[in-house]
Amino acid sequence: MPAQKILLLGPAAGRLRALVEKVTAIEAKHGPFVAAFLVGDVFEKGDSLDDDETALLDGSLKLPIPTYFFYGTHMPDDVQSKLEAKCPERAGLVQLVPNLTYMGSAGLAVVHGFRIAFCGGVSLAAPPMGSESHDATRAPEIDWHASLPVRADAVEKTSTWTPLDTPAAVTKAVHHMLSHPAMALGEARAPPPPSDPESLQQARSFQYAQAAYEFQLERDAEVLQARPPVDFLLTTSWPLGIDVLAQAPPSNAAVWGQPAIARLAEAARPRYHVVHAPIHSAEPGVFWEREPYENPPFAALPPPSVPPITRFVSLATAANASKVRWFLALQLAPADEVTTAARPSPLTPSPLWMVASEPPSHKKGSAKRVHTGETERSGARPRRQRRTEAPVGPDQCWFCLSNPAVEKHLIVAVGMECYVALPKGQLPVSSDEHTLVPGGGHVLIVPIMHTPSLYASASSEAVRHEVAAWKAALTSCYASMDAVPVTWEVVRRGTRAGHTQTQVVPIARELAEACEAYIRQAGEDAGYAWEAPSVADVWSHEDAPVSPQDREDYCCIEIDGRRLLLLLHGTRFNIQFPRETLAAFLEMPERGDWRSCVRAPEVEEAECSRL
């Protein structure tokens, strides 16, 4: 397909007639353009339409070239009703009037061979994705697979018309967009160098993070090879960090940036990312064309003939009186048709690499890990010399990537501080027709850093926060299958269990109460003294009525959120007690020992894929 001319336009609200007149002049002098894309609001806020907006809808004011727009920050009721009358499915592309087509509020579309990703909505002033203080319940449900009208310009089945009028709705839309194959990408982040290079702990942490990062790059490379390229990303908010490494960014660029949009841009890796700056009162916004930046390389991929480069452009309000530039004319072929391209100069590294999906106060690298097994089993009667045994080091730890014997096929998901993986020899039988969760559902939540406890250091707070987030996500997952989680952590200093983990096993919801009673009774029969509920409920809080020493050796079991706690105080304890007891409760005592449940690698890989 030969190169085609594309026009990008700033917000037109309140300036429709001036925009039409200017676009007509541009088309006459520099056309023909195959399409124009309008970024931001087309219509002014308010219940009624002004004269120019009414003229646009009745056809007396007409755009000269096919123009596409998406939900900015609002949509008048009259326009929404007209769109819904034309397309009751409320999804996909629909022509509002001749030469003016609505794409939706967020999604992906293919127009004249160009793949367009877009996301409108209000400024994301709320906490970023992943923040527990964020009220995700306010976000409306989005149907990303609704049937779409058949058009010459086909839209991929990812668009929604849901109004993005709250930060929660925008954040949810971004999450859904990131799940699309054209946007899918792993969580690889290069770890930052240690702040204190002479600190052995920081040096080791950096080593583990770097190794995990390289592993995740391999996975990301496979995804990149399979997914189609994105030509344009159009958003109504700036990405956080876009001003980093730039020579002369606008003074307010850092304030305008949003973490969720940074994650979206970093995953999309578009050829062009076009936005408009926040507009206040009569200000026109800003025009800023950032130096092109190169998206991170992937060592597992062959060198690309077309460098993975993004050009970021901010457009001002259309036809503004200050004559700040508000349009961008391009001549290019769709990315699918491009075979070679020169590297521009100047060129910077990606400014989004370290900040996507994170608040500014937490700019750590997202290290990744893989998993190869459960904690070593100890007998019910450990020898007295147990206290003198040296813990397993990182180079031999089953949970550290620096161990050359790791089995990468068991990894399920990765995060900023922890990863989730299948254990060797999970408790549920994945092939049993009565197993509730596909693949079995028994997982381990493991801190990335080699640590014996979630309370080992001050830096453990971030780890504990993410463990809680993973547990909440698994609880939601299991709930959809009428199951609840049983989780446990065992920390026993002086054993060879040098890397803590939280084990999570789904059981049928109706068994939760009986399971709690069974485990409590089994502990009492074994001579263990459970802490009072008042202690167990607040034990993980920093101001809990237990000392830091109490947190060093403990067994904590939760059944659907109800906590049972043992503070071990140097007493003998079988660290396989939680699994053996749960296996007995589920009437499969033969599976109490994980070593009797290990499957062939190809079976484990299939289990991981299903989960």
The 10s digit of each residue's pLDDT in 316-370 is: 999 998 999 999 999 999 998 988 888 888 999 889 865 543 433 333 333 333 3
Task: Please choose, from the candidates 138, 149, 147, 148, the residue with its C-alpha nearest in 3D space to the C-alpha of residue 173.
Answer: 138
**pLDDT confidence of 129, banded at 50, 70, 90?**
very low
**Token pair in block for residue 550:** 């109490």
**Token pair in block for residue 431:** 């092939």
Most confident of 106-120, 340-354, 451-465, 588-602: 106-120
Q: What percent of the chain has pLDDT over 70?
A: 76
Report the pLDDT value the prediction gives residue 108, as an integer from 0 to 100. 93
Q: Between the CA of residue 564 and those of 163, 254, 452, 534, 581, what are the distances in Å?
A: 44, 46, 20, 11, 13
**Token pair in block for residue 424:** 């060797």
Whether 465 shows a pLDDT value over 80: the answer reads yes
Report the pLDDT value the prediction gives residue 457, as an integer from 0 to 100. 64
What pTM does this model have? 0.59
Mean pLDDT over 6-18 rounds to 94
4-124+147-184+227-349: CATH topology is Purple Acid Phosphatase; chain A, domain 2 (3.60.21)
C-beta of residue 138 within 8 angstroms of C-beta of residue 121: no
Report the pLDDT value the prediction gives residue 55, as an integer from 0 to 100. 95
Place of tokens 């049983």: 486
C-beta of residue 502 within 8 angstroms of C-beta of residue 442: no
C-beta of residue 279 within 8 angstroms of C-beta of residue 11: yes
Whether 586 shows a pLDDT value over 70: the answer reads yes
**pLDDT confidence of 204, banded at 50, 70, 90?**
low
Report the pLDDT value the prediction gives residue 370, as an integer from 0 to 100. 39
Whether 579 shows a pLDDT value over 60: the answer reads yes
C-beta of residue 120 within 8 angstroms of C-beta of residue 105: yes
Ranking 160-169, 241-250, 394-403 by mean pLDDT, the lowest is: 394-403
Stronger pLDDT, 384 or 150, i.e. the higher one: 384
Place of tokens 């907006």: 53
Architecture of domain 394-609 in this structure = 2-Layer Sandwich (3.30)
| 3-class SS of residue 69 | strand
Whether 502 shows a pLDDT value over 50: the answer reads yes
Report the pLDDT value the prediction gives residue 64, as an integer from 0 to 100. 97
Whether 110 shows a pLDDT value over 90: the answer reads yes
Whether 79 shows a pLDDT value over 50: the answer reads yes
H or E segment and range at residue 489:
strand 483-491
Whether 132 shows a pLDDT value over 60: the answer reads no
Backbone angle region of 46, left / alpha / beta, with phi > 0 → left and psi within -120 to 50 → alpha: left
Domains of the chain, by residue range, sit at 4-124+147-184+227-349, 394-609
C-beta of residue 45 within 8 angstroms of C-beta of residue 75: no
Distance CA 274, CA 255 (A): 18
- Per the prediction, the chain carries an average pLDDT of 80
Those residues whose C-beta lies under 8 Å from the C-beta of residue 76, and which sit 6 or more positions away, are: 43, 46, 47, 48, 49, 53
- Measured CA angle at 378 (ends 376, 379), to 5 deg: 155
Report the pLDDT value the prediction gives residue 201, as an integer from 0 to 100. 63
Backbone φ and ψ for 54, nearest 5 degrees, come out as: -65, -40
Report the pLDDT value the prediction gives residue 142, as an integer from 0 to 100. 36
Report the pLDDT value the prediction gives residue 227, as an integer from 0 to 100. 83
**pLDDT confidence of 478, banded at 50, 70, 90?**
very high
H or E segment and range at residue 537:
helix 533-538
- Measured CA angle at 138 (ends 86, 134), to 5 deg: 135
C-beta of residue 421 within 8 angstroms of C-beta of residue 412: yes
Whether 112 shows a pLDDT value over 90: the answer reads yes
Distance CA 68, CA 99 (A): 8
Mean pLDDT over 250-271 rounds to 87
Distance CA 530, CA 522 (A): 11
C-beta of residue 264 within 8 angstroms of C-beta of residue 352: no
Beta bridge partners of 109: 116
Stronger pLDDT, 158 or 57, i.e. the higher one: 57
Report the pLDDT value the prediction gives residue 393, as an integer from 0 to 100. 62
Whether 76 shows a pLDDT value over 70: the answer reads yes
Ranking 3-12, 193-202, 527-536 by mean pLDDT, the lowest is: 193-202
Distance CA 15, CA 11 (A): 8
Backbone φ and ψ for 336, nearest 5 degrees, come out as: -60, -25
